[in-house]
Structure 1
């Protein structure tokens, strides 16, 4: 069975394993992607935030503690929404059970739209990017991370080993479906080149202010061998965009 979008997280076994894996102190999401994303986001005081594919909304809870005045998380998994509701309890944050594609983007409403490692689950981004652009206030920003295209084009290596030492990059310029073995399940993701992400953002009206590939920082990784392994291949691609 192949899982699409948020459906994998409604599998109770997968969800439990994912939460355990995701909350590891040494998770690359925590030691590589998150610090860079927070750097790109900067000061959130007084801002209204929308989080697409918010997961358990722990990130939203953190943004609220940093001073954002409102937080809307959009999440398609019922299991994730229940977890997010617990994490946002007692805050100004809300989580909404909806897919990113069907969410009603209110025009000129958000100062910041964020998305962490969710957009590579979507087949169509062109329309979504335009909706995000429309939803931003003047000087609003869209900041997101996705799985790096080098990884989404190396599924042969993912199928061979869960702890890889070499990566076979193939079929890079052909965008589309990739079936990735992940936490003992098969998950559908969509491969796009860096160029394609860039062009889609420009076509939607965004000005790209910054782009990062998640260069590992030695002070964040305890093991020298793990640091050396993480220096071999990019895991994440991040964009910081401003409504033009």
Structure 2
């Protein structure tokens, strides 16, 4: 599984780095506006962990707002893309989020994880580590696939199970196999609450720019959300 994810996103790194509107509408005009809306209003001076940075859009955004981000990704090619985007102004590391993180406890004020956690089967070790490296009352914001979207993918059998699914993303003439895990909403909520205090759950509405670019998909998203965002607080004792 990890090898598949790494290989897939190594191949996808060029598309992520040089965003093509054909493939990036869902990120640019659906996921990112909803995620950024959950961020603290003042990011100046905050130490932020971008957990699953892809090609570094969030890392670069955080830098532009005066934060001090550290970016992680399992894909070496995505790590290099993030380094190029941020021009050496952020620490960028190739790290497996299912393992122990290479940071001292209470290092970060904010953790952001965009469309990453569904590539992990078990969230417990990851959330335990996120809680450890996040300061008390620090903020954890993440987005994942909405289980309502993933249950319709071929291979999904039971809504209440955590299932490994296989999808295929077409980029130009290349078909890239992408594996990820679908889990029910109750597991997403309950696992989050085991390590953090849930503040807000968001099922995003696509922006007007999205509607103008892709009216058919806009109408589909208004009936069935593709993504889910959660904001939580680290209430460790």
Q: Summarize the alignment of residues 188-207 of structure 1 with structure 2, pairs less than 5 Å apart.
A: 188-204=179-195, 206-207=196-197
Aligned match of 2:140 in 125, 139, 142? 142
- Structure 2: distance between partners of 1:146 and 1:110: 21
CA distances 1:122-171 after superposition (whole Å, capped 9, x unpaired): 11101111111111112200000011111222212xx9xxxxxxxxx852
**Structure 1 residue 6 displacement after superposition:** 2.6
Structure 2 vs 1, CA of residues 222 and 45 (structure 1 numbering), >3 Å: closer, same or farther?
A: same
Structure 2 vs 1, CA of residues 49 and 2 (structure 1 numbering), >3 Å: closer, same or farther?
A: closer
- Structure 1: distance between partners of 2:80 and 2:14: 13
What are structure 2's unaligned runs of at least 5 residues? Answer: none
**TM-score, L = length of structure 2:** 0.87
- Answer yes or no: is the 8 Å Cα contact 1:2–1:185 preserved in 2: no
Task: Tell me the residue number matched to 1:60.
Answer: 59
CA distances 1:86-111 after superposition (whole Å, capped 9, x unpaired): 111152x1110121123324211100
| Secondary structure at the counterpart of residue 62 of structure 1 | helix
Structure 2 vs 1, CA of residues 9 and 229 (structure 1 numbering), >3 Å: closer, same or farther?
A: same
**Structure 1 residue 17 displacement after superposition:** 4.4
**Structure 1 residue 210 displacement after superposition:** 0.2
- Structure 2: distance between partners of 1:116 and 1:154: 22
- Structure 2: distance between partners of 1:182 and 1:3: 17
Q: May I ask how many residue pairs the two structures share in their alignment?
A: 227
**Structure 1 residue 226 displacement after superposition:** 3.9
- Structure 2: distance between partners of 1:24 and 1:123: 30
Task: Tell me the residue number matched to 1:212.
Answer: 202
CA distances 1:58-84 after superposition (whole Å, capped 9, x unpaired): 21111111111x111011111111111
What are structure 1's unaligned runs of at least 5 residues? Answer: 160-168
Aligned: 1:9 with 2:6: no
**Structure 1 residue 115 displacement after superposition:** 0.5
**TM-score, L = length of structure 1:** 0.85
- Residue range with higher mean Cα deviation, 219-228 or 100-109: 219-228
Task: Tell me the residue number matched to 2:33.
Answer: 35
